[in-house]
Structure 1
């Protein structure tokens, strides 16, 4: 019995339109081609436009990969690396899958860290436009013998013609290749070895300074000797581990908060970057995003707001404490240009040495330490030679953030530091005006977030795992246009400034008002609810629920709300109502871990990628404990490199600054001697970094 289905033309048109609309919102995936089609491309590509060496190598690919001595998975990896995908999402939503295919091509060559392959391969890709394309273009990827590196453009265009059935002839403006092995390993190249030698000189200098310090002490009046002792490990280790004698001279709970935020940041980045090495990545993404309690990972970008809040709090607290106690200097005004230039100079001296050292080391050596190159669009060895100056000038977050992209925070926070005097002076001279100005700026920043979400259809924060269909899936565009820009992120920093202002005022009170049990319990309850909502309130957006008003409200306010909850925690701990939480956050072991956090942050992305490169490929997701095990190793390596950076760059630079300032001031003999009571009072005043310093050095450093 036969059935005849008749669909009216009008209904058929409606169905086609409906189907087209459905397909237009379905997430694009990379297309994989049958093995026979890949072999056909290798065999039938015209050889007339290729070099003889490349043509001969193409002819040997199949015999190499089908040889009995070649592993079966190498042949599968080779054919599976060929593909096409959405060009717009090449460096965004689909980036981990492109890297995964590149890894398959590299593994097909059979390279190891100790043995070079007889048939090295290169993964080559071509994209019509990498950064600013809005058209529905296609990206192409192929695996070739490395001897075809000079002919990859020709072969990419041939693959473009075959894969598109000759329907796509657009120029592939952005092209590149990742080799299965460096032409020369890092120890065979001049620049990496020069950087390594420079490291050895610095370590030797630290050793010499330490031995001299142990044998002769540090009481020499000779400036050259003092400069040498600036590198003493004995001196700098003492700075890392000594707790301030005056518990109120700094906000001690910051020690634990800074360390925990560093751990949180590393865990989040680790869980992002593992995606490029996972075989069953869709299963991993579903497990991570669909579990409500996993939002401490998927919403980990709030860790940056912890750093911003801590930075604002410490800046305001140390500044207001200084001028509440100081009686020998004239307070700065709006036109105290010399004072503010020194204010900024100290910040640059605090940031530059470790930053520049890390930039040089990561770019010239660590990025090429592994036997094969990294993914070119995000490889510091590729991007930093052209964009390093953006980082040095702290403007990388205002531009495309190509070099060491995780350091956008440093540029954004430095911009906040540049504008902080506006708030500091306003609060000092006219508190009501300063509070009003702070509130207005926070509200304007929240409205900017709403506008950005509406214009670009962005989610409330970057979605780095699954991208619901109701939002723009381009998280790199979100990153560049909204996530890293100062005008969208200043709210938590201002909350920190206000907290520092209040804590300094509270500390200056001779008789502190007794707080009731109701106030304490109510404060902790409100802060707990605010913190929980700001962390776990992302779930409706992550699940793609159609709650547009909620998504806009959450995106505009959750970072400030989280900062306010954190502010209560710091207030409670610093003013004596923190209880066991304060005791946990102020444990002595957390002090050095906190002091190292800046250098650790600079280096942490290298171990994050490195441990996954060393793991067997591909990684099969079964449990998150595997990733957490990687996180533990990555954290240990990060602290090792962070400790090295702190000892040979960060702390010596701060020591040298104080020595030179003391020298200049002694030569000028313009400082008035402090009375003895002021000397005692200011002995352990913290500098802006929360470090307890000698009173005279601290006074000079702030002049």
Structure 2
């Protein structure tokens, strides 16, 4: 057999292997019904004694409305297509975007617009059960708004028609969303009050800024003037764009890493949420899942692990750097209750104002700005009035994370901050014991991931585009039980704490060790190898290849491996072997973009959904370029809000904290910090306003 024959055999085997694995991926599809079948249901429903006369009249007018010459053909088609049935276990997983899509079809069939109210408003109503039994069916119908109170009766009638064998089963959960708010936001007291508050806040900031320019910061004495200065744009814009006074107090490559992670997060969310608006969604999902290089999007949830690494590193580096200076101030111990109270208080002041401001803005005004409500399970206007306290206490990730679900990361990292003194003090008092404690914690967290994957048949990470049949399809269960829970995600944060400890110790060395070319090459090989391996190692799991051991190993360690890779990149950049990568990531223009990342993260999901609502429905997928254009617009809108929130709420709160709780103290005597050419030196000053 010649070489060509061997090639053909090898190619045939690879083709058969890949084909077998591909057929394990299931296609998302709901049952659809013809227009005649839907109107058969309407006519049957009008005969029900349980529904009101008003509802019967409204059902009788549907056909004439849809056949009216002023009604668009698309509205008639949308109405019939919005009636669906499908497997209950897929309602919260694989097919969820199709149910949302059906909901938009129903709402659009009413003919509502921003400027005009429809004479035939609609309600999209659905029923599903959290039971994992695959034999249970979920249902959706589109009914006139006068029938909203009769939605459960009509859903049961739809079930009786489509699934007669289930007619007598209890219907545990039903919900509806309307085609138009009962009152638009400008007709409601609460949104108008929120708007008035923001206008008054803007006026106060303008007054504070004018006062600052007229009186100057040094001449303003007393609590009143100082409070005004806390809101001054002159003060806060300088804080936003200036480099630290101490050139060694921060790790500047984090400017770029933090901003790029924020962009990565937004792109990933944008590519997820567009699925609910796409007509040819299967083509989109195939494109996303089948391309090896698309894994930087399909595996984008690793961006959160970057934030965990950065959070742990910043905390550890600043904490150890302070106490390694051997200052005359007594070091904190396990019983330094006053010190640790201040430690936590500052964190709360750092997070609370911007966080609560965003929750209020999104809940009270932004969620009701559009003429129709959002998808009820994730609509902040519905969920946040009930669950806001979970966010306010940073425990939302310990529950079902209903209010602004993307903010689970804020609560999870706050929990890590609360327990961080255990690791900080252990490393400071007994480094070997502290290091062992960190390693055991990382291993325990990884073990919990392994156990949960085996117990629940979870995939290695959330698969938000394709759901291979070899895994549990319920990504909502995966999200609540493992993805957002602190005990499963702490590994990258601890790796960040160890990195910050090492960098602080490295900085204190008077004479830095020589690094050979082999050492430098090894650092970059490990850093890039771990990062890219973790990022692109999802491919076998994404395609459902029957490699159970691989899926378990990858799911257990890939986040920690990725965190190690990011840590090596940070180490290289901060210790002088980063080269052009460090110069790029540390560029001055990235400083304000990095400083705005917290408030940008809080808000970014609103523009992601908003831009898709403004374009014609449905969206047809031809290429990824239009989606990236959406991402650019979404990013710009996100940073506009981030600037507003940071300058009007976040920074003023920090200024007030400093004014009230940090009175001027006598300087403490410090031993001079050694410097070295290998350390990253920042510019001595930055442009003044």
What TM-score range do you get, normalising by the shorter chain?
Answer: over 0.9
Alignment of 1:105-504 (within 5 A): 105-127=106-128, 129-130=129-130, 133-134=132-133, 136-165=135-164, 167-219=166-218, 220-504=220-504
Aligned-pair distance for 1:178? Answer: 1.1
Secondary structure, aligned partner of 2:305: helix
**Cα pair 1:88 1:134 within 8 Å, conserved:** yes
Secondary structure, aligned partner of 1:325: coil
> What is the aligned partner in structure 2 of residue 102 from structure 1?
103
Aligned-pair distance for 1:67? Answer: 1.4
> Which of 660, 674, 677 in structure 1 is aligned with 2:667?
674
Secondary structure, aligned partner of 2:240: helix
> What is the aligned partner in structure 2 of residue 10 from structure 1?
none
Q: Taking structure 1 as the reference length, what is the TM-score of the superposition?
A: 0.90
The whole-number CA distance in structure 2 between the counterparts of 1:525 and 1:167 is 59
Q: Taking structure 2 as the reference length, what is the TM-score of the superposition?
A: 0.92
> What is the aligned partner in structure 2 of residue 48 from structure 1?
49
**Cα pair 1:160 1:166 within 8 Å, conserved:** no
Aligned-pair distance for 1:170? Answer: 2.2
**Cα pair 1:28 1:86 within 8 Å, conserved:** no
Aligned-pair distance for 1:167? Answer: 3.3
**Cα pair 2:327 2:671 within 8 Å, conserved:** no
Aligned length: 654
Unaligned 5+ runs, structure 2: 1-22, 675-681
Unaligned 5+ runs, structure 1: 1-22, 683-689, 694-703
Aligned-pair distance for 1:464? Answer: 0.7
The whole-number CA distance in structure 2 between the counterparts of 1:577 and 1:25 is 45
Aligned-pair distance for 1:525? Answer: 1.3
Aligned-pair distance for 1:168? Answer: 3.0
Alignment of 1:31-70 (within 5 A): 31-45=31-45, 46-70=47-71
Deviation track 1:248-272 (CA, whole Å, cap 9, x = no partner) reads 2210011111000000000000000
Deviation track 1:81-135 (CA, whole Å, cap 9, x = no partner) reads 00111222223222111110000011111111112212111111122x34x5546
**Cα pair 2:28 2:282 within 8 Å, conserved:** no
> What is the aligned partner in structure 1 of residue 608 from structure 2?
608
> What is the aligned partner in structure 1 of residue 13 from structure 2?
none
**Cα pair 2:313 2:500 within 8 Å, conserved:** yes
Aligned-pair distance for 1:680? Answer: 9.4
> What is the aligned partner in structure 2 of residue 5 from structure 1?
none
Aligned-pair distance for 1:626? Answer: 1.0
Deviation track 1:376-419 (CA, whole Å, cap 9, x = no partner) reads 01111111111111111111111111111100001110111111
Secondary structure, aligned partner of 2:117: coil
**Cα pair 2:328 2:670 within 8 Å, conserved:** no
> What is the aligned partner in structure 1 of residue 570 from structure 2?
570
Aligned-pair distance for 1:33? Answer: 1.1
Aligned-pair distance for 1:527? Answer: 1.5
The whole-number CA distance in structure 2 between the counterparts of 1:68 and 1:565 is 62
Secondary structure, aligned partner of 1:528: helix
Secondary structure, aligned partner of 2:296: helix
Deviation track 1:451-496 (CA, whole Å, cap 9, x = no partner) reads 0110000111000111011111111100111111111101100110
**Cα pair 2:508 2:673 within 8 Å, conserved:** no
Secondary structure, aligned partner of 1:32: coil
Give the alignment's Cα RMSD to 1 decimal: 2.0
> What is the aligned partner in structure 2 of residue 9 from structure 1?
none
The whole-number CA distance in structure 2 between the counterparts of 1:638 and 1:172 is 41
> What is the aligned partner in structure 2 of residue 591 from structure 1?
591
**Cα pair 2:450 2:555 within 8 Å, conserved:** yes
**Cα pair 1:32 1:82 within 8 Å, conserved:** yes
The whole-number CA distance in structure 1 between the counterparts of 2:159 and 2:193 is 42
The whole-number CA distance in structure 2 between the counterparts of 1:135 and 1:190 is 45
The whole-number CA distance in structure 2 between the counterparts of 1:326 and 1:141 is 67
Aligned-pair distance for 1:212? Answer: 0.5
Deviation track 1:341-368 (CA, whole Å, cap 9, x = no partner) reads 1101100100100110011111111111
Is 2:528 the counterpart of 1:528?
yes
The whole-number CA distance in structure 1 between the counterparts of 2:540 and 2:613 is 34
The whole-number CA distance in structure 2 between the counterparts of 1:114 and 1:574 is 55
The whole-number CA distance in structure 1 between the counterparts of 2:457 and 2:27 is 16
Aligned-pair distance for 1:51? Answer: 2.4
The whole-number CA distance in structure 2 between the counterparts of 1:609 and 1:259 is 21
The whole-number CA distance in structure 2 between the counterparts of 1:678 and 1:203 is 42
Secondary structure, aligned partner of 1:176: strand
The whole-number CA distance in structure 2 between the counterparts of 1:25 and 1:464 is 13
> What is the aligned partner in structure 1 of residue 14 from structure 2?
none
